[in-house]
Structure 1
Amino acid sequence: MIIASESPSVLRRPVAHTAIVATIIFVVAHVVLLLGITTPDKLYFDEVHYVPAARQMLLPVVEGPILNPMHPPLAKEIIALSIKAFGDVPLGWRYPAALFGALALVAVYLGALALFASQERAIAAVLLGFFNQMLFVQSRIAMLDIFALAFCLFAIAAFIHGFRQKRPQSAFALTGLAAGLAIACKWSGLFVLATCIAIVAVISLMQGWRTRFADANAEDWYRPDLWPDFRLSHFVVCFVLIPSAVYLASFVPLYGFSFADLIEAQRRIFADNTTTAIAGHTYMSAWPSWPFLMRPVWYLFEKAGDDRFAAVVFLGNPLILWPALIALIVALRDWIVTRSRDAFLVLAFYLGPYLAWALLPRTLGFIYYYLPAATTASFVLVYALTRKGAPRWLLWAFVAAGCAGFIAMLPITIAAIGTSMATFNRLMLFQSWI
């Protein structure tokens, strides 16, 4: 086997080595994400909702209604701390997004390393996650999604690590901790926690039925001897009590210990996330269209000079995210035919955060809701590109192609670079992208 054949002993690499690589990823990503981040020098797109809410949190006494009550407070609290540290200026608004974007890439690295037991494949996953364009754009705007994404990816990394262990209690407790933090930023963090719960529940149910594969092997996604000491009490602590405690703690700085206010806050969030009575939006799109990149969201498009426009589009890199759909089919085939554990995990953490949107009655949707699935698509791609029989150069050729697509999109990704109308027209391949 090619890259995929690297020995499981990689999992036992010195912690120091992993920490060094993770630190390098963080520092490089952090620096790159900060370049030009203060352009534009005014609030744009949904910053007009979240930055005022963060400002309100800094007031000695909050007068009037709580701003932006339709989302949990943690991400806005982090933005508020940044404003306090750097001032009420563009860097203060957006620095936390760059910080958590870099942390998200570290989480991709840790998740891929736990999944593939290969430094090479883990680095490739990080690059694909960066070049997919979505993470980059969301790491440079004061919105909530990048915070939830980073915590979700750490939850996924911890779960994948625990999945391979005989005693997963510690890793699954970290999963619950990270998932609780994600939910405290945005309720969509529930989707990753629900995916983890579903995996554990299905495996426990099959074990209860004493299910066995006739030709069982060590790489099966299900084994009857998996987690022999993981009990119901462990499940409740890891996946219910820990995330609940972390989530509820995030409301204390805003509401104190008022039980009535806490309940009302949950009611308001629930009502907003389940309502169908929301007006349409120019850039709204339905969840089945997101993987096909049919309708982007233009965060910014304004004249900056003679034939120069400052532009930021949340679209996604077609050279990465369209081929990911083929990779999904490959992984699905391997899970069904060979019962591949890696195929099962990459499918679960792509489809779980994505298909959960189909269950919500809310009619208003945007392609940036696809961000978690688009990021974990890097796992799916690395899996498909490094299967047995694939040439070793294929993975890096694909990464290079993704990089080329990312560079081509920079004029409509970084407002500080800007675009001409000719470049804009050249990049808009479809009328629905405008």
Structure 2
Amino acid sequence: MRTGITAGLLFVLAHFAMLIGVTTPEKFYFDEVHYVPAARQMLEPAMREPMLNPMHPPLGKQLIALSIHSFGDGPLGWRYPGILFGSLAVVAVYLCGLALFAAQGPAIAASLLAFFNQMLFVQSRIAMLDIFALAFSLFAIAAFVHGFRRERPHLWFALAGIGFGLSAGCKWSGLFALAVCIIIVAVIRLMQSWRTQFADARPEDWYRPGLWPDFRWWHFAICFVLVPVSVYLATFIPLYGLSVANIVDAQRRILSDNTTTAIAGHTYMSSWPSWPFLVRPVWYLFDKVDEDRIAAVVLLGNPLILWPALIAVAICLRDWIATRRLDAFLILAFYFGPYLAWALLPRTLGFIYYYLPAATTASFALVYALKRRSMPGWVLWAYVAIGFAGFAAMLPISAAFIGTSMATFSRLMIFQNWI
């Protein structure tokens, strides 16, 4: 009951905060020029050729299309699904926090830090696909972590498979967290087959010889292969019906577009090693309103949260190596997995918003580091307040409806490469 009430309050607060001024600007900005026309095309009585934006799966665009149908073909219709799923992502972080820390306070703190990291807020207020993939993936991670601690994880792992299938149905990057789960389960099963044991075994170890005694290989295949693949492919049925040839051809096009290296450069492109350090942001919008006022939206990340998060990740790594803690292990897995996966792709064009999933799960590392035994309880909440202060300071360049002066803009742009 308490969990449901808290989740509901977090959803309402996040939804209200992100909805304010979302219709500004009243024109397309940044990648809305790709996704909104593709969503409009889905509302046509008959799908015409060529299909717009064939390089991504359809679910996210279908959600935008449903919103346009419900709220009209305008800024609210384009952007409301992002608000909805951004609010759900905050709730999902809270549920992940409960599964990781088994306490309300740290879970709430994690959800607030994820909201205040600026990336989630900005990405929820633009008609792009990343926030949909993130929300579904976070719910799947929550189910996986909850199931990890149970003797019979079957149902929870199947629910995780559904979430990952829906995430991939929005954007293929949703597969990264699924791959993390597959690797974790495979490694644990391999160690069990080798009869691995720790000499000084502890209840909080990430690996135990007796973990999931009734979870067989076919359960693994169903939960982490059959279920996500079936859910993913089902997202194509509204477009292609039951035509296997058309659905397979759609996968070929997505694969080709997402693995090509023949992509031109972009003003705001950046490489994956730079993302945690917030070296190169993406300016989604920069409009001059009058002589001294601008309307701006930048995806940068809150330095007061995401820079200290790197220290917190290092603390998690130290604790996992030294004490084999399960919570530290899972935090590291879902931070590094969705982030370092980009290093393996042949794609040369990258943007800092690809760091969004890792930036969001970094809030767990911060909570972990700030709730250690040596830390007084008030330190965590003091840090949440600091994170909020950084978030509030960045609002003039996070929400276009606020507007700001060139002097404020200059103060916020600490480094030349942020411009």
Check if 1:245 corresponds to 2:235: no
SS of the residue corresponding to residue 309 of structure 1 reads: strand
Q: What is the TM-score normalised by the length of structure 1?
A: 0.96
The amino acid across from 1:424 in the alignment is F
Distance (whole Å) between structure 1 residues aligned to residue 170 and residue 127 of structure 2: 13
- What residue is the counterpart of 2:264 in the other structure? 279
TM alignment of 1:150-229, pairs within 5 A? 150-229=135-214
TM alignment of 1:27-426, pairs within 5 A? 27-426=12-411
The amino acid across from 1:323 in the alignment is P
- What residue is the counterpart of 1:11 in the other structure? none
Distance (whole Å) between structure 2 residues aligned to residue 211 and residue 41 of structure 1: 60
The amino acid across from 2:262 in the alignment is A
SS of the residue corresponding to residue 409 of structure 1 reads: helix
SS of the residue corresponding to residue 311 of structure 1 reads: strand
SS of the residue corresponding to residue 289 of structure 2 reads: strand
SS of the residue corresponding to residue 185 of structure 1 reads: coil
The amino acid across from 1:181 in the alignment is L
Distance (whole Å) between structure 2 residues aligned to residue 81 and residue 395 of structure 1: 40
Distance (whole Å) between structure 1 residues aligned to residue 125 and residue 2 of structure 2: 29
Distance (whole Å) between structure 1 residues aligned to residue 114 and residue 271 of structure 2: 23
For structure 1, which segment, 58-67 or 406-415, has the greater mean C-alpha deviation from structure 2 after superposition? 58-67
SS of the residue corresponding to residue 229 of structure 1 reads: coil
For structure 1, which segment, 395-404 or 133-142, has the greater mean C-alpha deviation from structure 2 after superposition? 395-404
Distance (whole Å) between structure 2 residues aligned to residue 118 and residue 375 of structure 1: 19
Q: Per-residue deviation at 1:63?
A: 1.9
Distance (whole Å) between structure 2 residues aligned to residue 110 and residue 392 of structure 1: 21
Distance (whole Å) between structure 2 residues aligned to residue 62 and residue 379 of structure 1: 43
Task: Return structure 1 stretches of 4+ with deviation > 4 angstroms.
Answer: none
Distance (whole Å) between structure 2 residues aligned to residue 350 and residue 193 of structure 1: 13
Q: Per-residue deviation at 1:35?
A: 0.3
Distance (whole Å) between structure 2 residues aligned to residue 163 and residue 306 of structure 1: 57
SS of the residue corresponding to residue 300 of structure 1 reads: strand
Q: Per-residue deviation at 1:27?
A: 1.0
Gaps of 5+ in 2: none
Q: Per-residue deviation at 1:307?
A: 0.8
Q: Per-residue deviation at 1:392?
A: 1.4
SS of the residue corresponding to residue 218 of structure 1 reads: coil
Distance (whole Å) between structure 2 residues aligned to residue 132 and residue 341 of structure 1: 25
Q: Per-residue deviation at 1:414?
A: 0.5
Render the CA deviation track for 1:24-56: whole Å, top value 9, x for unaligned. 111111111100000000111000000000000
Distance (whole Å) between structure 1 residues aligned to residue 246 and residue 16 of structure 2: 40
Aligned residues: 419
Q: Per-residue deviation at 1:306?
A: 2.9
Render the CA deviation track for 1:252-271: whole Å, top value 9, x for unaligned. 11111111111111011001
Distance (whole Å) between structure 1 residues aligned to residue 16 and residue 376 of structure 2: 33
Report the RMSD for the aligned CA atoms in angstroms. 0.6
Distance (whole Å) between structure 2 residues aligned to residue 222 and residue 62 of structure 1: 51
Q: Per-residue deviation at 1:305?
A: 2.1
Distance (whole Å) between structure 1 residues aligned to residue 324 and residue 239 of structure 2: 47
Q: Per-residue deviation at 1:356?
A: 0.5
- What residue is the counterpart of 1:433 in the other structure? 418
For structure 1, which segment, 396-405 or 312-321, has the greater mean C-alpha deviation from structure 2 after superposition? 396-405
Q: Per-residue deviation at 1:397?
A: 1.3
Gaps of 5+ in 1: 1-15
Distance (whole Å) between structure 2 residues aligned to residue 337 and residue 27 of structure 1: 40
Distance (whole Å) between structure 2 residues aligned to residue 86 and residue 305 of structure 1: 31
Render the CA deviation track for 1:165-222: whole Å, top value 9, x for unaligned. 0000000000000000000000000000000001101100000000000010100010
Q: Per-residue deviation at 1:329?
A: 0.7
The amino acid across from 1:243 in the alignment is P
SS of the residue corresponding to residue 62 of structure 1 reads: coil
Q: Per-residue deviation at 1:272?
A: 1.1
Distance (whole Å) between structure 2 residues aligned to residue 202 and residue 388 of structure 1: 30
Distance (whole Å) between structure 2 residues aligned to residue 119 and residue 259 of structure 1: 46
Q: Per-residue deviation at 1:61?
A: 1.1
